[in-house]
Amino acid sequence: MHRGARLKSNMRIKIGWMGVAAACVLSAQTPPKPVMVEDVLKDVRMLKGISVNEFMATMGFFSASTGRSCNYCHVEEAGGDWARYADDHPNKTRARGMIAMVTAINKNYFGGRRMLTCYSCHRGGERPQVTPSLAELYSTPPTPEPDQLLASGANAPSVDQILDKYIQALGAPQRLAALNSFVAKGVQQSYASAQKVPVELFAKAPNQRSLVVHTNEGLSTTTFDGSAGWIAAPATDRPVTLTALAAGDLDGARLDAVLSFPAQIKQALRQWRAGNPATIDDRDVQVVQGTSDGRYPINLYFDPESGLLVRSVRYADSPVGLSPTQVDYADYREVAGVKMPFRWTVTWLDGRSTITLTDVQANVAVDAAKFRQPR
pLDDT band at 288 (very low <50, low <70, confident <90, very high): very high
Between 199 and 30, residue with greater pLDDT = 199
Q: Can you tell me whether residue 254 is helix, strand or coil?
A: helix
- Please state, rounded to an integer, the average pLDDT across all residues of the chain: 87
- Cα 307 versus chain centre, distance: 23
What tens digit of pLDDT does each residue of 149-195 get? 888 777 778 999 999 999 999 999 999 999 999 999 999 998 878 89
Quote the DSSP letter at residue 130. Answer: -
pLDDT band at 9 (very low <50, low <70, confident <90, very high): very low
Least confident of 12-21, 50-59, 217-226: 12-21
Contact predicate 368/355, CB 8 Å: no
Strand extents, DSSP E, the chain: 181-190, 196-204, 208-215, 218-224, 229-232, 242-244, 270-274, 278-280, 283-291, 297-302, 309-316, 323-335, 338-348, 351-362
CA distance 248 to 264: 21
Quote the DSSP letter at residue 122. Answer: H
What tens digit of pLDDT does each residue of 243-284 get? 898 888 888 899 999 999 999 899 999 999 998 888 998 899
Contact predicate 277/156, CB 8 Å: yes
Domain that holds residue 324: 1-375
Please give the pLDDT value at position 136.
83
Please give the pLDDT value at position 132.
87
Q: Is the pLDDT confidence value at 12 over 80?
A: no
Please give the pLDDT value at position 29.
55
Could you tell me what percent of the chain has a pLDDT over 70? 91
Residue 253: Cβ within 10 Å count? 28
Q: Is the pLDDT confidence value at 25 over 50?
A: no
- pTM, two decimals, is 0.86
Q: What is the DSSP string of 155-202?
A: TSPPHHHHHHHHHHHHTHHHHHHH--EEEEEEEEEETT-S-EEEEEEE
What tens digit of pLDDT does each residue of 303-326 get? 999 999 999 999 988 889 999 999
Q: Can you tell me whether residue 143 is helix, strand or coil?
A: coil
CA distance 324 to 347: 8
Q: What is the DSSP string of 48-64?
A: TTSBHHHHHHHHHHHHH
Please give the pLDDT value at position 172.
92
CA distance 37 to 185: 34
- Return the CATH number at 133: 2.50.20.10
What tens digit of pLDDT does each residue of 98-115 get? 999 999 999 999 999 999
Planar angle of CA 225, 228, 231, nearest 5 degrees:
90
Q: Give the total number of structural domains in the chain.
A: 1
Please give the pLDDT value at position 14.
39
